[in-house]
Structure 1
Amino acid sequence: MKNLENSSSNKSQNGLNITVDESTYIQVTIEGSNQKINIAKVDTKFKTLNSAVFQIEINGSVQTVLQHEMPNVINKNNTAAYSGYVYMTNTQGIVLSSTLYRTGNIVAVYLPYSCWALDCGPLTLDEVVVTGPQARPRYSSAPFGGTSGWRYRNRYHSMGAAYARHYAKIELDNRIKANLDDIGPKPIKEYDDKCQGLKEAWEKYPKNEVAGFITKDGKSLITDIGGYDYSDVAYIHPLNGENYYIYNANEGSLLLNYEGQIRSYEYILIPVTAAFHTHAPCRDQEGDGISGTVSLHDRNIQEGSNINYWAIGCGGAAQYGSGDSFFNTQRGNLQNICAKIK
């Protein structure tokens, strides 16, 4: 999908800044006023005779699902004039209450049922009138036109949240597959108590470097137990303002629940705010592992990421970034300094 960051129009709708390319947009009229704003042109992701799901891009990167109900007429030239309601959801298929639309005149080229699971090409959208907000959409199913021999083909199937979730999951899987370096192993251990996880990472593995993450809701994960001087924490995927640790769903389910976690068809995503790894060699070498020069390996691990990175060493912990030096050094045993590691 085209990136719209350099587009020529930037308006606000229901608290969202919507950026569009003026050459490919649909127009939205605020009901009860003459104000018109633009929404980026959508691409079809799912379509039957009577319904469709699209993808829409907001702020140049936010991928959203747009779904609508049945057409009010099928014309002889294989076009359909759509009426009813249009819903926007987030990438998990949850309907956004502030973005319920009543369509004015949505026109689409008719495509047969063979397009149920295929990308059937773009629809041309005209005016859309905002009538929200509404807490949740209304779902229904009703017969639609045709003779009795066509009754199943012409029956209206409401899109519902299930279809939106289905295609949002497919879209998310495709995005992750394009960034395979972001996929890590299933967490080895999970701790509801963050401090317990940090403590065990340091105390139970004196001859290993141990790597893991601190989740958005304050839990901790151990994701890698490496050699004496090597572990890897470079599995971060940014998505819609959050950062996620990702692993293949076929490796098994999580033991704990994490606030904001996402399950697509192929992957499980856990929101994280910080990464940590232990510097085991300081146990029998000079130095404490959290002062002096940050290794090139450690600097490369955090490159391009905006979460916090921590090294746990002898007598404390310290943050590091793209520079040569550690910072925000916390001295003391892990139980006492744990609250500051986040």
Structure 2
Amino acid sequence: MSMKVVKPGLLTTIQDTGRTGYQKYGVLGSGAMDTISLRIANLLAGNKETEAGLEITLMGPGPSFELSEPAVIAVTGADFAFHINGEPAPLWKPVLVKENSVVSFGPCKMGSRAYLAVAGGFDVPAVMESKSTYVRAGIGGFYGRALQKDDELPLGSMTQCSEIIAHRLSDSLGQHGFSAPDWSVSSRGFLPLKKNPVIRMLEGAQFHAFTEEAKSRFYKEPFTVTPQSDRMGYRLKGAPLELQEPLEMVSEAVTFGTVQVPPDGNPIILLADRQTTGGYPRMAHIISADLPLAAQTMPGEHITFSAVSLEEAEMLLLEREQQIKELKARLKMEWLI
């Protein structure tokens, strides 16, 4: 069983929750930019939450895919137009799609990335224990590259849960091209998208090295996400952040959400395809709970930073993981009991 790429879109790649444990060897993590949306899409499709799905960058017309056989899919992430065989289709819920159907993605209303999970996942080789695509190195995913027209993506075997979902939804399929339950996951409960978001931060190791004026501006004035942004990092534009004096640094470890400030004073948010070390001062770190919101920001939007304590950051992360745990329990009750 496979999925055919009819239109690839701007940038569509296979991503899972990342390549962990290899950064000490200089191998970056990659993985989904918005891991929460990917995890929930997988759970809705009956997969393990760490399974690989499609990350779809939505800036302009989106991609489309053809399924030659019936399949259970789930689409989460940004707010956008989604269709199956030309009919509006629901987001954030499991959907049984009939054979010979085409799923397509239209213009984005808010956010910038969608995630499509298919029951069984994508049957591509794991590289260093991950199916995630790192395009610059040509590893992982589908031949280490973004998807292209006429690619045939092999699908894996459905789990027991996916088979139950397909059986339950088939009863209401009828003459329609797809079938879905009358409930859905609350997208705002997991991904409260908004234009020009406020992103919460922790101070970085070199925060003290900046001038008082720069530190004040960092938390009060908005920064614009520039078009020179990608999966490696978001380049921001605003009033330059100045150091108290020149700072010579040895390269140090960086992570998803590290905010570095190069000599021009404009911050860079490091993202999924970040390098493993960096030699620029680390102004701050985005808290884990807000990484999906940052990753969904589009070029041209403004980001404002807000400081929180480490205790608050930990509490917010624990609350989010508890939400995921409760969702898994509810889905198990819905399909398996």
Bin for the TM-score computed over the shorter chain: under 0.3
TM-score, normalising length: structure 2 = 0.25
Report which of the two has the higher share of helix.
2
Greater radius of gyration (CA): 1
TM-score, length of structure 1 as denominator length: 0.24
Q: As a proportion of its length, which structure holds more strand?
A: 1
